[in-house]
Amino acid sequence: MENIKTIQELALDWFFDQLVENGIATKNEIKLVILINGYNQDALDSILYARTGYRSLSQYEEHEAEGGE
């Protein structure tokens, strides 16, 4: 049987990729947090907040679109 991901898992994978692609955290840093806290929205949100001060990726993206000041 194929390993089919849920919408939630796909969303987490996308968020993970966004953290890496935007230079917010490395894959290894994210994997460490995930090992400690589990692979969930709260863990990824915590990484985002710790590194940027933003509570959501959309807040971060809006700030970056404005020039990141």
- Long-range residue pairs from 19-22, CB within 8 A, at least 24 positions apart, any chain: 19/44, 19/47, 19/48, 22/60, 22/64
Question: For 56, which DSSP code?
Answer: S
Q: For residue 20, is it within any domain?
A: yes
pTM exceeds 0.85? yes
* pLDDT value at 17 more than 70: yes
Q: Round to whole Å and give the CA distance between 23 and 7.
A: 24
- With H, G, I as helix, E, B as strand and everything else as coil, classify residue 2: coil
Note whether residue 1 is domain-resident: no
The pLDDT of residue 67 is 84
- Split into its structural domains, the chain has a count of 1
Burial class (CB in 10 A: 0-12, 13-18, 19+), 47: buried
- The answer, yes or no, to whether residue 57 has pLDDT greater than 80, is yes
47: containing domain: 7-65
